[in-house]
Every structure is written in C-alpha cells, then in structure tokens.
Amino acid sequence: MEKPLARNHPVENKRAFRKALLKWFQTNAKSYPWRKTSDPWSILVSEIMLQQTTVASVLANRRFEKFLKQFPDIETIATAPEETILRAWEGLGYYNRVRNLQKTARAVLHDFEGQFPSDAETLQTLPGIGRYTAGAVSSFAFNHPAPIVDGNIARVISRLLNCQKEVDSTAGQKIIWQTAAELLDASKPRLFNSALMELGQTLCSPKSPGCLICPVRDYCQTRSPESLPVKKPRKKFVQVDEHAFFWIEKNKLLLSKGQDSRRQGFWKLPLRSPEQCAHLEPISQHRYTITHHKVTLYLYHAKPPRLLGGEKYHLISRLPDLPIATPVRKILAAKTIELGL
C-alpha cells in the first residue's frame, strides 16, 4: 500500500511532532540496560559498543553488562593492561574503540578531576568522542539539550524532510544536524533523543518502513521512503591473501604479536610472503572479512623458516586469556581439534 501523503512539515509543526513521537514512545520504548542508568561512564561504554555492533548482538551476549562488570568505573579501566582491555573487547571488532575508552577514562581522571564534563562541546575534546557520542552522553546521562544524529536518526530525518542530498556529505550532514537540533524537545532531551532513535531502529527501518502505523506519518514528506537516505557510494572491500604457519611444539602453539595497524596488540600466526611458502602445500584455506578487508588465509603445517626483522615468536599454551582476532581464534580452535593436538 502507498505511503500516506503528509499534511504538515515536521519543523514548522515541531510541538505537535514531538507530542506524537513521545506519546508513541511512552508505550513502545524498549527496555535496554543502558536506558536504566544515567551514569556517564556506562552510557559512554554503551554508545561506543553500539557504534559498529548491533543492539541484538550486544544484548544476546550480554556484552555491555560483562564489560561493565570487568570495568565498572574509569579508575578500573585507566590502570588495566592493554592486553586485558583488548581481550575484553574481543569479538566486537574495531579495537581502537576500546583503546579510546581507556584514553578517555585517563583524560577524565587527569584533566577533569574524575568528573565527566556534561556539555557536548567539552565532551568532544576527549579521545574517540565525536559529535554523536558527545550529544548522546550529554543528553542521556545529564539530560542536556544536545541533539544527536546516528544512522537511524539520519534515516528518519532524511525521510521526514524528503532530503535528496547525500546524508554522509558535508551539506547533507549540516541539514540533518540542524533539523535534529530544531526538532529536539529541550524540556525532555533524554526522552526525545531516545524516541527518535527508536523510531529509526523499529518502524522507520531501511527496507520496509511501517509508514501506515508510524506516529509521525502526518509530518513525513517523502513518498518513497525506501529510496532514502541517499548515500555516497560505498568504500570497496580490499582483497588480501595471507600465508600463515601453524606449528605446535611441546603442546604449545607458536604465535607472534601483530605490529601492523590491523592487528596491533593482537596475537597472530606467523605470516610470510607467498614466495617464502612456494615450496609448501597449504593444509587448508580460510576466508573471512575483517573491517573492509576480505582475507583469504592459506595455512601451512610447518615451522616458519626464520624470524623476520623485529619479529618475536612465543610458544603459547593458554589461548583463552590472550587477545586474538575472532576469525583467527576460530581457525585455531578448528585446527587443533582436526589435527588431534
């Protein structure tokens, strides 16, 4: 069925728009663990965690609760070794997020006497905190009237306005942020931002928006919501071939520590160039995707020929405590079982 034609512009009728949205949220708000707290550290953790990980995945594995149990405050994470924080973040990917969480905790302790700043502008001076996260912490933790725009809100607003500009362009971002600020209910910023975000997460979904039951359909200017938001062409995946050595000595696995930007701080199988492996037959081949790399990993059951400059090997017996990229951990688990090791 065709989407109904909107009679009113959302910004020109913002009071009625807010009322309709908040009324809907009153009976449709989801009960997320991060909605039950106003502690800025907990809210920052949830926001950073949810940046590249879906709500469903964070909830299913209780990642938010587990992380906060291990690091309940900024003091605990500020003094934790890097290996411990990377291990705690394992499986969530984009590990600079947890490194920045630690840097932020240290900055709050040292530069703000342990108290999180409450305004979005100052929050943005902290490591890894951009405009969205700053607005989220300011409005969710302190109930300050700071607008927020994430992917869900950008989609909702671009549809409300029937915006044909690319939402990830400078001009598109300017329009979306300005509208988020104009629509914001300054008397209930925490509630309003949560409601707008939830509308994007539920009814105003990317592929099949529920326009007929949408609480703000009377203000929505688009006739073809599925075509919005307009976005810049996607960054292409980079294909990478890797050649790795799988070697066990005295019941210990030979690993080295990652130095390149993709694996910094992580334990990995020693890698070599294809020429250095030309005389060997791979025992298996694995494909996985990590950030924007599509990796094909060829695995050789052999001891790596010699150390490369700056490289150090370690014979490891206990993998569970070490940070290892999830796809590599899966390969290791499968291989050790298959080879009866």
148 vs 325, which CB is nearer to ligand SF4?
Answer: 148
DSSP states of 144-175: -------HHHHHHHHHHHT--S-TTSHHHHHH
Per-residue mark of binding to ligand SF4, 218-247 (x: CB under 6 A): --x-x--x----------------------
135 vs 215, which CB is nearer to ligand SF4?
Answer: 215
| One residue of 21, 44, 167, 211 binding ligand SF4 per CB under 6 A | 211
Site membership for ligand SF4, residue 78 (CB under 6 A): no
Shortest distance (Å) from residue 166 CB to ligand SF4: 18
88 vs 153, which CB is nearer to ligand SF4?
Answer: 153
Site membership for ligand SF4, residue 20 (CB under 6 A): no
Answer yes or no: 47 catalytic: yes
Q: Which of 277, 326, 316 is closest to 298 using CA atoms? A: 277
Site membership for ligand SF4, residue 214 (CB under 6 A): yes
- Distance in angstroms (rounded) separating the CA atoms of residues 245 and 303: 6
Q: Which of 326, 333, 253, 256 is closest to 295 using CA atoms? A: 326
Q: Is 240 helix (H, G, I), strand (E, B) or coil?
A: strand
Site membership for ligand SF4, residue 195 (CB under 6 A): no
**Which window, 25-33, 92-100, 216-224, 256-264, contacts ligand SF4 (CB under 6 A)?**
216-224
- % helix / strand / coil in the chain, to the nearest 5? 45, 10, 45
Residue of 47, 83, 166, 242 with catalytic role: 47
| One residue of 44, 78, 88, 203 binding ligand SF4 per CB under 6 A | 203
254, containing H or E segment: strand 252-257
| One residue of 72, 114, 206, 210 binding ligand SF4 per CB under 6 A | 210
Tokens of 65: 């609760």
Phi first, then psi: give them for residue 164, nearest 5 degrees. Answer: -100, 0
Tokens of 145: 């009237």
* Count of chain residues binding ligand SF4 (CB under 6 A): 14
- Distance in angstroms (rounded) separating the CA atoms of residues 254 and 317: 9
Shortest distance (Å) from residue 214 CB to ligand SF4: 3
Q: Which residues contact 102 (CB under 8 A, 6 or more apart)?
A: 77, 78, 80, 82, 85
Q: Give the C-alpha distances (Å, rounded to integers) separating 268 from 81, 156, 245, 263, 322.
A: 19, 42, 10, 8, 10
**Which window, 32-40, 60-68, 204-212, 273-281, contacts ligand SF4 (CB under 6 A)?**
204-212
98 vs 156, which CB is nearer to ligand SF4?
Answer: 156
DSSP states of 282-304: -SEEEEEEETTEEEEEEEE-S--
| Burial class of 103 by CB neighbour count within 10 A (0 to 12, 13 to 18, 19+) | middle
**Which window, 69-77, 85-93, 123-131, 217-225, contacts ligand SF4 (CB under 6 A)?**
217-225
Site membership for ligand SF4, residue 10 (CB under 6 A): no
Site membership for ligand SF4, residue 18 (CB under 6 A): no
**Which window, 182-190, 206-214, 292-300, 315-323, contacts ligand SF4 (CB under 6 A)?**
206-214
> Residues 149 to 168: which contact ligand SF4 by CB under 6 A?
156, 159-160
Site membership for ligand SF4, residue 183 (CB under 6 A): no
Site membership for ligand SF4, residue 295 (CB under 6 A): no
Site membership for ligand SF4, residue 180 (CB under 6 A): no
How many residues are listed for the chain in this entry? 341
Q: Which of 70, 66, 82 is closest to 267 using CA atoms? A: 82
Site membership for ligand SF4, residue 117 (CB under 6 A): no
Site membership for ligand SF4, residue 204 (CB under 6 A): yes
* Chain positions contacting ligand SF4, by CB under 6 A: 156, 159-160, 203-204, 209-211, 214, 216-217, 220, 222, 225
Kindly list the catalytic residues: 47
